[in-house]
């Protein structure tokens, strides 16, 4: 073993450089050197005790509270130096010396900072970063157990916002510090993410509960107004789902209260709505930017809402106040049902060769506006044929000049289609089609019904002719019928 005095300090005494020793062996040490023209001889006995393979401390389990300003989830701070010192008290004067040893320069030009290895595990994700213990390039906001260079080794667990995926995330941390004398120091801990308790609450003005199900009804936007006799357009796009719910939190008494706009902005609270993947097919119905567009035939569509804080979904936000998981939005159909005021009679006593009627003359289809004693505005031109049955607006018939109800900007009505027709005896309802043969015909293109009397025989029974029609448009396929009675 070789011992060489290398320095002298009036307060600290002599510093010796020792090499060639073996841990666990006792030595008689003698060293001599000259300091300030004085020959100094130092003699003593010493046993070299090895440092342990490692020392470690585990922080108490904790929750990680969100700091929106720093965009960090942070746990409480704990000083760990005293607990670590107990494991190496034979090697350091006190806990303070252990703490400063992480940044103390050592002989041989070793760096004056420990290596730091940060590791955090969340589920199947492992986050690892390596830095110097003291380094200006060491980002303050990385996910880790941060150990402060404050003489107390004050430590805390923290998670960068970008590393959090859900409000159920639990992180297991390990920070390994390796000073240049080689002793690995481990600081470990586990913490779960704690999302502030914000929640969604329905707005009574737009949301109601019926049969245990939360729901809203589409109203439809009539341009220029619902009662106007000069309609230019109708829309069920841009239905604002965000107005259906508001953000709340509990006050000191545990009562749910609204959250201010300033707090919503500061906490970066955001609603998001979507139609779930499990929903039935819903052609023509979609959500974009929290706006629902309802150009489909489903009677209702399920809507799933989420509330997130800085992009992290608050898992129970839509169940904390009430269970809104069954929330639905109900369709609005702007078109009423087909009607016919009364059965049309076709008298045959005039002994004409043919008798002709047009179903557009008596078939009625109206919209939902409050016109004509709450019956709505008529959509069918009674002087037209099925080839082009829709009215043209003239500023007085419910539509602006030139506007037609089959326009995509209005109701998008397709052509009225004849589905079937039947010919029966009026007195017993039996089928009369075989007896009359082609004497009764219906032109599917024009909607004209013709009774031919060219056989020059007098009809002996009243005959009912029923024509079944339908019309398709974005919100429904609507069926109706027109009934004629051919009189004997």
DSSP 355: E
Tell me whether residue 339 is in a domain.
no
Domain final position from 330, 365, 399: 330
pLDDT tens, position by position, 183-195: 999 999 999 998 8
The answer to whether position 399 is within a domain reads yes
Condensed to tens digits (0 to 9), the pLDDT of residues 309-358 reads: 888 889 899 999 999 999 999 999 999 999 997 888 888 877 777 888 99
Mean pLDDT confidence for 211-232:
92
Confidence band of 133 (pLDDT split at 50, 70, 90): low
Percent of the chain with pLDDT over 90: 65
- Residue at 433 is within a domain: yes
59 and 187 housed in the same domain? yes
Same domain, 67 and 187: yes
Whether the pLDDT of residue 452 is over 80: the answer is yes
Question: Cβ distance 393 to 381 under 8 Å?
Answer: no
Q: Which of 164, 179, 194 is the last residue of a domain?
A: 194
Question: In the predicted model, what is the mean pLDDT of residues 390-399?
Answer: 95
Q: What is the pLDDT of residue 77?
A: 96
The answer to whether position 23 is within a domain reads yes
Q: Three-state DSSP class for 225?
A: coil
Q: What is the pLDDT of residue 90?
A: 86
pTM of the entire structure?
Answer: 0.74
Tokens of 260: 């201010």
Of 16-30, 299-313, 394-408, minimum mean pLDDT range: 16-30
CATH classification of the domain holding 171: 2.60.40
State residue 111's pLDDT score. 56
If asked whether residues 471 and 350 sit together in one domain, one would say yes
What is the band of 423 on the pLDDT scale with cuts at 50, 70, 90?
very high
Task: Show the domain range for 232.
Answer: 198-330
Q: Is the pLDDT higher at 72 or at 137?
A: 72
**Residue 336 maps to a domain:** no
Q: In this structure, are 310 and 366 located in the same domain? A: no
Q: What is the DSSP letter of 259?
A: P
Judge if 145 and 202 occupy the same domain: no
- Into how many domains does the chain fold? 4
Q: What is the model's pLDDT at position 106?
A: 57
Residues 202 and 190 in one domain: no
pLDDT of residue 472: 97
**Does residue 119 fall inside a structural domain?**
yes
Query: Residue 338 falls within a domain, yes or no?
Result: no
- Same domain (yes/no): 360, 413: yes
Strand order in the sheet with 239-240: 239-240, 291-294, 285-288
- Tell whether the model's pLDDT for residue 96 goes beyond 70: yes
Mean pLDDT of 458-487: 93
pLDDT of 9 above 60: yes
Query: Domain check: are 167 and 260 in the same one?
Result: no
pLDDT at 354: 83
Which of the listed residues 330, 358, 391 is the one where a domain comes to its end? Answer: 330
Least confident range from 12-26, 146-160, 277-291, 307-321: namely 12-26
Mean pLDDT for the chain? 90
Whether residue 483 is found in the same domain as residue 353: yes
> Average pLDDT for residues 473-485, to the nearest whole number?
95
* 104 pLDDT more than 80: no
User: In sequence order, what DSSP letters do the residues of 153-196 get, joined into one string?
Assistant: -EEEEEEEGGG--STT-EEEEEEEEE-TT---EEEEEEEEEE--
The answer to the question of residue 63 being in a domain is yes
pLDDT of residue 215: 98
Are 174 and 240 found together in one domain?
A: no
For residue 135, pLDDT over 70 is answered with: no
Pick 219 or 11 by higher pLDDT: 219
Q: Is 443 left (phi over 0), alpha (psi -120 to 50) or beta?
A: beta
252 and 383 together in one domain: no
Q: Where are the beta strands (DSSP E) in 179-299?
A: 185-194, 198-202, 208-210, 213-217, 221-223, 230-231, 233-235, 239-240, 245-250, 256-258, 269-274, 285-288, 291-294
443 and 315 fall within a common domain: no
CA distance 267 to 250: 16
Question: Mind giving me the DSSP string for 313-333?
Answer: E-TTTTTSSS--TT-EEE---
**Window from 53-57, 156-160, 310-314 with minimum mean pLDDT:** 310-314
């Amino acid at each position: 073993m070789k011992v060489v005095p290398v320095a002298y300090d009036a307060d600290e005494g002599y510093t010796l450089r020792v090499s060639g020793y073996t841990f666990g062996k006792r030595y008689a040490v003698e060293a001599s050197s000259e300091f300030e023209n004085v020959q100094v001889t130092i003699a003593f006995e010493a046993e070299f005790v090895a440092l342990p393979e490692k020392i470690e401390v585990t922080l108490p389990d904790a929750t990680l509270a969100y700091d929106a300003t720093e965009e960090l989830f942070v746990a409480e701070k704990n000083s760990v130096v005293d607990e670590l010192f107990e494991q190496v008290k034979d090697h350091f004067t006190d806990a303070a010396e252990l703490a400063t040893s992480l940044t103390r320069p050592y002989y041989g030009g070793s760096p004056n900072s420990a290596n730091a290895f940060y590791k955090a595990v969340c589920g199947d994700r492992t986050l690892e970063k390596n830095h110097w213990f003291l380094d200006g390039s060491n980002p303050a906001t990385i996910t880790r157990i941060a150990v402060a260079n404050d003489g107390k080794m004050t430590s805390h667990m923290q998670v960068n916002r970008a590393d959090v995926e859900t409000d159920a995330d639990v992180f297991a941390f390990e920070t390994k510090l390796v000073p240049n004398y080689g002793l690995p120091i481990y600081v470990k801990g586990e913490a779960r993410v704690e999302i502030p308790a914000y929640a969604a609450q329905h707005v009574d003005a737009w949301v109601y509960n019926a049969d245990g199900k939360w729901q809203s009804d589409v109203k439809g936007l009539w341009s220029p107004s619902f009662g106007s006799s000069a309609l230019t357009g109708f829309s069920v796009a841009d239905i604002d789902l965000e107005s259906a719910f508001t953000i709340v939190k509990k006050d000191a008494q545990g009562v749910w209260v609204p959250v201010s706009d300033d707090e919503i902005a500061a906490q970066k609270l955001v609603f998001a709505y979507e139609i779930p993947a499990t929903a039935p097919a819903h052609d023509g119905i979609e959500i974009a930017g929290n706006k629902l567009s309802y150009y489909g035939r489903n009677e209702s569509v399920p809507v799933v809402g989420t509330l997130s804080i800085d992009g992290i979904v608050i898992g129970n936000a839509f169940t904390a106040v009430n269970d809104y998981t069954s929330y639905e939005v109900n369709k609005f159909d702007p078109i009423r049902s087909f009607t016919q005021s009364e059965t049309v009679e076709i008298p045959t006593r005039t002994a004409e060769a043919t008798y002709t009627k047009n179903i557009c003359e008596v078939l009625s289809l109206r919209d939902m506006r409050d016109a004509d004693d709450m019956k709505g505005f008529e959509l069918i031109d009674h002087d037209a044929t099925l080839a082009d049955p829709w009215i043209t607006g003239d500023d007085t018939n419910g539509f602006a000049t030139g506007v037609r109800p089959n326009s995509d900007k209005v109701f998008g009505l397709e052509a009225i289609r004849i589905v079937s027709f039947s010919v029966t005896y009026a007195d017993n309802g039996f089928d009369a089609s075989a007896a009359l043969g082609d004497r009764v015909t219906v032109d599917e293109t024009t909607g004209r019904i013709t009774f031919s009397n060219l056989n020059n025989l007098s009809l002996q029974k009243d005959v009912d002719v029923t024509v079944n029609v339908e019309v398709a448009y974005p919100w429904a396929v609507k069926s109706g019928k027109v009934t004629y009675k051919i009189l004997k």
